[in-house]
Amino acid sequence: MMLKKSVLISFFAFLFLVFNLSAQVATIDVAKVKQVIDGFGACTAWHVQFTTAEADAAFKNEKSEQLGLSILRVRIAPTSSEWPGWADEKANAQKAKARGATILASPWSPPATLKTNNNIIGGELKTESYAAYANHLKSFCTYLGNVDVVSIQNEPNIEVGYESCNWTPTQLLNFCKNYASAIGKPIMAPEAFNFDKNFSDPILNDLIANTQVQYIGGHLYGATAYNYINAITKGKKVWMTEKYFNPDDISTCITMAKEITDCMYNNMNAYVWWYLRQPGCNLIEAGGKLKKKGCTMGQFSKFVRPGYSRIEATYQPISGVYMVAFKGKDHNVVVVVNQNKNNVSQSFSFKNDTVFSVKKYVTSESKNINDEGTLTCVGNSFTNNLEAQSITTFVTSKIPTTNHSLKDSEIRIFPNPASQFLQFSSIEGLTSFRIFNIHGQPLISKTNPETATIDISGLNSGIYVIRIRQEGKDKTFQLIKK
């Protein structure tokens, strides 16, 4: 009886070990595609003009000290001369646009003359001023000349002591329904302080207003990211358009990175930080030097580009580790946040893709988007050490980094380049081979080949990858088809 009990305990202990080991593998399924990513950005409200060096640091993506931001949020001042005036935001928008950014324009208040209290602080937009307000927003867009998205109102649902305007959900609905089309640009609403659906659901549920609004925007002050099904099922892009954390230490940056991860995981299309350059909660310093929070944003913005799509991935493979993954045209990106105050060994596995290696970049207490080199994948999998309190970005490669130098006992391929036929030096111990294009798609495959000659005449000219299995080991070659 004791022996049986001992065997049962050992069996359940084995099952527990197997379960925990399998639970620790983070799986990325490239075939399961989610939302399209519009980008990552920041705001220049009350900034005055930024310099060329600052624009390069924020919106270019050619060097390690550049963030590659792809969205700029500008302020629509109540009047063209209200400090800092429209001219400053136009200059900022031109610099950002020239570096590939999308421009989002947000108003904090209509002109005072259009409001119930004749003041740019508080009050409401007069009902009889709705048409004039739509024309005001249109005039700003015409002046800038490059606005891509226009918001109706910044944070309509809170009363504050600075530039602002109060709206009810019904007022916002009526404006969008009857006047938004006159602005002549894609519309965003409601940019609520706490991403309050009570301000956006009425718009989404109204047959007319729904057609006038293309973007649902919101802020995450006092709220957490959620999957906004009503907006998504009605074809709207969902943007998180304002949030900040202070100070600039690694613990704060980990909180920030976790929130960006959660926004992406919950099917949002964009994440926009508050101040770009202003002191206190900024991403860059005056002159263009990246802050730690800027590097945190860069772990996403430099590698996950507009037009990429999120793909299914294990959200929390182990306690304190969170992950989100993306699919690009030529490579895929995995961003991992380790909240733990200790290093963690993590295994990763790609499904429905062929990945030979990943490039690793890290931001931690001592590192800022550091290039950590290339890691080799075996069977589309790899295991790596995540630093304590770090954000790690892995960028995949579907082409071997080098041609393998093989021993005399190992199989060689020739000729290379080849035009019609490819030859193995031997098929001894060769159990299978596969030929992939540079996108990782298998084109030719064979198990237990009986001949050393492969007909490749059907392949187009270009670069291919051959993976063979010889005596239980995988080897890869690069092939040039003439």
User: What are the boundaries of each domain within the chain?
Assistant: 24-32+310-397, 38-306, 413-481
- 242 part of the active site: yes
Indicate which residue of 54, 155, 163, 259 is catalytic.
155
Q: Are 474 and 355 in contact (CB under 8 A)?
A: no
- At 65-83, the pLDDT tens digits run 999 999 999 999 999 999 9
**CA distances from residue 426 to 404, 406, 431 in whole angstroms, order as listed:** 16, 13, 12
Q: Which CATH class is domain 413-481?
A: mainly beta
- At 352-395, the pLDDT tens digits run 988 889 999 999 999 999 999 999 888 889 999 999 999 999 99
- At 310-334, the pLDDT tens digits run 999 999 999 999 999 999 988 999 9
CATH node for 38-306: 3.20.20.80
Say how far apart CA 42 and CA 54 lie, in whole Å. 13
CATH number of 24-32+310-397: 2.60.40.420, 3.30.870.10, 3.20.80.10, 2.60.40.1180?
A: 2.60.40.1180
Mean per-residue pLDDT for 96-103?
Answer: 98
pTM for the structure as a whole: 0.82
- At 170-197, the pLDDT tens digits run 999 999 999 999 999 999 999 999 999 9
Same fold, 38-306 and 413-481: no
Indicate which residue of 54, 89, 163, 242 is catalytic.
242
Sequence-separated (6 or more) residues with CB below 8 Å from residue 192: 155, 156, 157, 199, 200, 218, 219
- Rounded to 10°, the helix 86-98/52-59 angle is 50
The pLDDT of residue 2: 43
What's the CA angle centered on 415, arms 411 and 416, to 5 degrees? 95
Phi-psi region of 333 (alpha: psi -120 to 50; beta: other; left: phi over 0): beta
- 89 part of the active site: no
